Amino acid sequence: MALKSTIFKADLKVADLDRNVYADYPLTIAQHPSETEERVMVRILAYALFAHEYLAFGPGISDADEPDLWQRDLTGSIERWIEVGLPDEKRLTRACGRSDEVVVIAYGRAADVWWKQIESKLARLPKLQVLRLPDDATKALASMAQRNMSLATTIQEGQALVSSGDHSVTLDILVLKALETAR
C-alpha cells in the first residue's frame, strides 16, 4: 500500500521590502512521503521570497520533470521555475530551456560540496540564479512546521525573518550565482 501525502496549511503573510510586495497567501502544501519537514518549510520560504499572484506549487519530487514551484503567465508559459535542494546539471539545463528564469534554493549539509562540483557547469546558464540557505537556519525553520500554521515573513537586503507565534528564524540568503541581466 502506497503512503499518502501529508497536507500542510499555512497562512503566509509576506512583507518583501525589496520588491514592495505586501500580501497574505493561504497555502496548501502536500508533503510527499519521502520529503522532510525541512524541505516543506524551505518550499514555503521559496514561495515567500518570490511571492506573486501566479506563483504556484508544482508536483515537486512527485514528478521529476516539473519544478517545486513555478510562475506561469496567462498563456501558460513558464516565467519562473524554482527548484529546492540540489538538482543536477541536466535538470537545470532543461529547466532553462523551458522557462524565462530558473532559481535554485540550495540547502543542507551537502550544498557546499554540490556547489563546488557543479559551479563551473552552471556558469554558462544566464537564466539561472542559485541561492544558498544556512543549515542551522533551515533546521530551525523545520522546527516551526505544523499541519496548520500562521507564518509572517519579512524580506529585506538578503535576509528573511520568518515568525510563527513567539518563534522566529532569521535566514541570511547567500547568492551563489546571480541571474545575468541583458546587456
- Could you give the percent of the chain with pLDDT greater than 70? 95
Please report whether residue 36 resides in a domain.
yes
Q: Residue 13 pLDDT > 60, yes or no? A: yes
Is 183 a residue whose pLDDT tops 50?
Answer: no
**CATH (domain of 94):** 3.10.640.10
Q: Determine, yes or no, domain membership for 125.
A: yes
Distance (Å, whole) CA 150 – CA 165: 8
* Count of structural domains within the chain: 1
Q: Containing domain of residue 133, as a range? A: 6-177
Asked if 169 and 162 count as a contact pair (C-beta separation under 8 A), the reply is yes
Any domain includes 183: no
Confirm whether 182 is domain-assigned: no
pLDDT digits (tens, 9 = 90+) for 67-122: 999 999 999 999 999 999 999 999 999 999 999 999 999 999 999 999 999 999 99
- Is the entire prediction scored with pTM above 0.75? yes
| DSSP code at position 78 | E
Q: Read off the pLDDT of residues 23-67 as tens digits, 9 standing for 90 and up.
A: 999 999 998 888 899 999 999 999 999 999 999 998 766 566 789
Is there a domain that residue 137 lies in? yes
pLDDT value for 135: 95
CA 135 from chain center: how many Å? 15
